[in-house]
Amino acid sequence: MKISWLLGVVTLVLIMSWVHGFEEWDVSEVNAASSVNPLLVGLTLIPSAADKGAVCLDGTLPGYHLHRGSGSGVNSWLIQLEGGGWCNDISTCVFRKKTRRGSSNLMEKVVEFTGILSNKPEENPGFYNWNRVKVRYCDGASFSGEGYNQAAGLFFRGQRIWTAAMEDLMSIGMHNADQALLSGCSAGGLASMLHCDEFRSLLPGTKVKCLADAGLFLDAVDVAGGHTLRSFFEGVVNLQGVSVNLPAACMNNMDATSCFFPQNLLAYIQTSLFLLNAAYDVWQLQESLATKRADPHGYWQECKLNNANCNSSQIQFLNGFRNQMLNSVKEFSLSKENGLFINSCFAHCQTERQDTWFAKDSPRLANKEIATSVGEWYFDQAGVQAIDCPYPCDKTCHNLVFSRNHH
């Protein structure tokens, strides 16, 4: 696939679904920077899930894509939890169940494995020959809901899907794992944090770590002084019965919505965790900080489309967001078991895209690519606590630039 680059910035046209003021937005589904002849992996449904009530929003079976490991990686497992937004009320969930994010009937039957899922050592040096799994996301609450709405025919079974997928993978070889990594991007990055300790408990005696890519969603104040994302997450948590699956230790100290925010979850995760995030996360810029409701006159529109169009006051506001992000991981970073890679880019999800995971011109901190940094951390070769200087100092970013018909 030929890629057109302009000043080191990749221009992506993202497919959006605007539903009742909130967009389902998933960068990981865009293959603008794919590898050459990427591996194609088929969808496997989980028949045993039905008896457990572990079904997608519309009641169809959940599934995953698996490419078996080989050689030294035959007993190593990488689980990637798919991202793709959330739904926070009946209408958005009814809409969602009619898409691949809510029904396995509508999922792609074959997907490309690129970036952290690639089977090529030159593209994925640390994990290329592992058993690599992409678990499909079809519940709308980061694999954590528990409930059912009979009137709307909505199954909120995210936690059961997680459990059914793990049980199925254990039955076909993951129980023999000598090392494992639970990963995820965006809503899947949040899911990897929510399930990190559960994953470790499945594999006693196994080296287990977790990676959250673009999952550090902040309880931030938007440009109008409101709390857009908190209001949205509150809907997700209450509608889908998420509270029963949140860490009890967190729930003893704060409300369920607060415990759904990663900045509050971090203190309760005991397993080694790597946080990969863009300090100027474009998803949060567009969907939390400067939504149409918060910015009805479009003052932020050009800045949202292209970071080069942001004026000094907008950059000052975004630097405040960056500072909040850095403050949220201060205690987390005190543990040398944990890893950090926070680059000052306008990006979102950097593990599944080949150009950002590992390539000749991929983003770097301390002159190390993301794949190199994650690998050194996972294999205990080096501690990784990489935090970038403020924008615009980083010249290795692949900043996302949107077309003018991006809504």
Looking at the annotation, which residues are catalytic?
Answer: 186, 281, 348
List % helix, strand, coil for the chain (3-state, nearest 5): 35, 20, 45
Question: E-strand spans in 270-321?
Answer: 273-278
CB 351 within 8 A of CB 183: yes
Question: Given the DSSP bridges, would you call strands 63-67 and 39-45 parallel, antiparallel or unpaired?
Answer: antiparallel
Question: Given the DSSP bridges, would you call strands 5-6 and 63-67 parallel, antiparallel or unpaired?
Answer: unpaired
| CA–CA gap between residue 99 and residue 140 (Å, rounded) | 11
Q: How many CA atoms lie within 13 A of 371 on its CB side?
A: 26
Beta bridge partners of 24: 17
Beta bridge partners of 23: 18
* Nearest alpha carbon to residue 276 among 203, 361, 368: 368
- Residue 229 identity: L
| CA–CA gap between residue 72 and residue 275 (Å, rounded) | 26
| CA–CA gap between residue 9 and residue 214 (Å, rounded) | 19
Please identify which residue in the block is written with the tokens 């798919």: 82
Structure tokens at 214: 């673009």
Structure tokens at 258: 């607060």
Taking phi over 0 as left and psi of -120 to 50 as alpha, with beta for the rest, 16 belongs to beta
Helices and strands (H, E) in the chain, number of each type: 13, 18
Structure tokens at 133: 């799994």
Please identify which residue in the block is written with the tokens 């940094």: 373
Coil/strand/helix, residue 121: coil
| CA–CA gap between residue 358 and residue 361 (Å, rounded) | 8
Query: Per residue in 239-262, is it b (16+ CB within 10 Å) or e — as a string?
Result: bbbbbebbbeebeeeeebbbbbbb
